[in-house]
Structure 1
C-alpha cells in the first residue's frame, strides 16, 4: 500500500514521521513518497525536493517565491496522479497541500485525500472548513473539540491525540541539575520568559515582557528569569535583553530548554502552542500577545472565541490570564504573575486545568502516530 505525504514545516515533519512509523506497524509493506524533512526521510521517505522550499509564511515572504511554489504545486500534483497512492496525506501547510490536492484530484478524480491537523476554524474563518471539504475526505484532528466542526463541513474526522501528550519532559533530577549548573538557589523562583520564535513576535513582545518581569522583581527580588529561544532569533534576544535590569539566562539547546521548563515555577508566554508545553510541565502561566495594528484589527473582527489559549480551550476553563492586543501591558501582566506566586488557589486552578488538558490530549493513551495511522487506514480501507 502506497501513501503520498506532504509536510512543509519541521513540526509537520515530526508528525509525518510518527504517522509513517504507525502505518508501517499496521501495514509492514507500506510505501511512502512525497515531501518531507529529516525525520520523514529517516522513516524511508525520498523527498521530491527539499521541504525547506515550502517553509515560508506571510504575504511578503511568499511573493518572491510565488512562481517557484506554483511550479512545485503542479509538479507535485502530477507526481501524485502518477503514483496513484491509497491516499494523499497533507500535514499542516494547508496553502500548499490543499492546492496540490485540488490539482491532483482534477487529474485523478477518485483520489482519497486526508489532512493532518484541522484548520483553526474554532478561532476564526469558519468558512475555511467548507472550502477544505471540497478537496479533503478525512481529517486527523489533534484537539478533541475539532471533529464535530469538521464533520459539520462534510468531512469525516477523528481526534488522534496531540503529540505533546507523549513528548518527553525532564524530571526533578534534571531540574535540580539545571538550577545547580546556573547557580540558581533551590528556593529562588524561576520565571520563564517566552516571547515567541519569530523575529516580529520578539520585536513586539520582548520589551513589554521585560518591563513586566522588572516590575515583578520589585516583589520577588530573588527570582531568576530564563529565556528559552531558538537559533533564528537568539541573537536578537541577546541584543534586546543586554540592558534589562533583570538579565535573563538565554537557553537555546533542546536539553537545556527541557530542563528549564522542569525547573520553572512560573511563565510569561506569547500565545501559541507553548501553552501546551507549559501544561505538560505543570508551569502556571500568564499569556501576552500583540500584533501589528492592521493585523490586530482584522483578528479582532474575525475572532470567534473569548480565549486563544489552548489550555483554556481544551480544559473548558478560563483560568489562564490573557493580555491580548492593547491589553498586553507590563503592569497588569506583572500583577497576574504575582498573583500566581501569592495565591495558592489561583495556582492550583491552573494546575488542575493543565492536568485535565493533558488527559484530554491523550496522555497515557496510544501514541498519536499509531492512532493517526489507524484513522488513515480506517478512512481508506475500513476499520482496523
Structure 2
C-alpha cells in the first residue's frame, strides 16, 4: 500500500506521526511519501523538502515566499500523481494542503483525499466546508460535534479523538518536586499565566495578564506565578516579564511545563487549544483574549457561537468564564480568579465538566492516532 501524507506545521507533524504509527501497526509495509517533520520522519517518511518551509503565517510573511510556496505546491502535486497512492492524507495547513489536493485530483480524479482536522466552520466562515468538499472525500475530526458539519457539505467524516487525551502528564510527585525546586510551599496558591504562543498575542495580552495577577496577589499575597512558553517567543517573554513588579517563573522545556500544569491551582489563559490541555490536567481556568480594535470588530461580527472556549463547546456548557474583546479587563479577570480560588463549588463545577470533556474527547479509549488509522483503512477499503 502507498500513502502520500502532508503536514505543514509542528502540530500537524505530531498528528501525522501518531497516524503513521497507527497505520503501520494495522497495515505493516506501507510505502510512505510526502512532507513532514521530525515526528513523521521518525515513522519512516523521507520528506520531499523541509516542512519548516511551509510554516509561515500572515500576509506579510507569505508574500516574500509566494513564488517559492507556489513552486512547492506544484512539485508536491506532481509527486502525488507520480506515486498514484491508495490515498492522499493532508493534515491541517489547508492553504497548502488543499491546493496540492486540487492539482493532484485534476490529473487523477479517482484519487482518494483524506483531510485530518476539520475546519472550524461551526465557529465562523461556514463556506469553507463546501469549498473543501470539492477536493476532499473523507475527514478525520478532532471534536465530537464536527462530523455533521462535514457530512452536510458532502464529505464522510469520523470523529477520531483529540490528541490531548494521549499527551503524557506529570504526576503528583512531579508536581511536588516542581514546587520544591522553585520554593513554592504546599499551601501557596500557584497560577499559570498563558498569554499565547505568538509574539503578537504575548505582547498584547501579557501586560493585562500581569495586571490581573498583581491585583489577585493583593488579595492572595502568597501567590506564585508560572509562565510556560515556547522557544520562538521565550526571549521576548523573559525580557517582558523581567520588568513586571513580581516576575513569574518562566519555563520552556516540556518536562517543566508538564510539572507546572500538575502543580497549578488555577490558570489565566488566552483562548485556544490550551483550554483542553488545562482540562486534561484538571486545572481550573479563566479565559481572556483580545485583538486590535479592527480585528476584533471583524471577528466578533463573523463568529457564529457565543463562546470561544473549547471546554465549553465540547461540554455544551458555559462553565469556563471568558473575558473577550472589550471585556478583557484586569479588574474583572482578577475578581473571577479570586472567586475560583476561594469558592469550592465553582472549582467542583469546573472539575466535573473537565471529566466529561475528556471522556467525550476519547480519554481512556483507543489512542487517537490508532482510531484515525482505522478510519483511513476503512475508508479506502483495506479492512
State the TM-score, normalized to the length of structure 2: 0.99
| Alignment pair present for 1:64 and 2:64 | yes
Residue 101 of structure 2 aligns with which residue?
A: 101
The structural deviation recorded for 1:292 is 2.1
SS at match of 1:28: coil
The structural deviation recorded for 1:378 is 1.1
For 1:99-138, list aligned pairs within 5 A: 99-138=99-138
CA–CA distance in 2 between the matches of 1:305 and 1:20?
34
Residue 335 of structure 2 aligns with which residue?
A: 335
The structural deviation recorded for 1:293 is 2.0
Residue 39 of structure 1 aligns with which residue?
A: 39
CA–CA distance in 2 between the matches of 1:167 and 1:234?
22
CA–CA distance in 1 between the matches of 2:40 and 2:293?
39
SS at match of 1:47: coil
SS at match of 1:46: coil
For 1:256-271, list aligned pairs within 5 A: 256-271=256-271
Residue 276 of structure 1 aligns with which residue?
A: 276
The structural deviation recorded for 1:243 is 2.4
Deviations 1:236-269 (A, max 9, x none): 1111111222320000111000000000000000
Residue 235 of structure 2 aligns with which residue?
A: 235
CA–CA distance in 2 between the matches of 1:84 and 1:122?
34
For 1:1-384, list aligned pairs within 5 A: 1-381=1-381, 384=383
Deviations 1:64-117 (A, max 9, x none): 111111011011001100100011000000110000000000111110000000
SS at match of 1:227: strand
In 2, are the aligned partners of 1:213 and 1:246 still within 8 Å (CA)?
no
SS at match of 1:45: coil
Deviations 1:318-341 (A, max 9, x none): 010111111111011001101101
The structural deviation recorded for 1:288 is 0.6
Deviations 1:252-298 (A, max 9, x none): 11100000000000000010101111001100000011112221111
The structural deviation recorded for 1:166 is 1.3
CA–CA distance in 1 between the matches of 2:335 and 2:319?
15
CA–CA distance in 1 between the matches of 2:293 and 2:133?
32
CA–CA distance in 2 between the matches of 1:81 and 1:15?
24
In 2, are the aligned partners of 1:282 and 1:351 still within 8 Å (CA)?
yes
CA–CA distance in 2 between the matches of 1:74 and 1:298?
33
Deviations 1:48-69 (A, max 9, x none): 0000000011111111111111
CA–CA distance in 2 between the matches of 1:64 and 1:290?
28
SS at match of 1:267: strand
SS at match of 1:286: strand
CA–CA distance in 1 between the matches of 2:294 and 2:62?
19
Count of equivalent residues: 383
CA–CA distance in 2 between the matches of 1:244 and 1:229?
16
SS at match of 1:17: helix
CA–CA distance in 2 between the matches of 1:5 and 1:294?
37
The structural deviation recorded for 1:25 is 1.0
Moved over 2 A (4+): none
In 2, are the aligned partners of 1:34 and 1:47 still within 8 Å (CA)?
yes
CA–CA distance in 2 between the matches of 1:249 and 1:238?
9
CA–CA distance in 1 between the matches of 2:5 and 2:231?
28
State the TM-score, normalized to the length of structure 1: 0.99
The structural deviation recorded for 1:234 is 1.2
SS at match of 2:28: coil
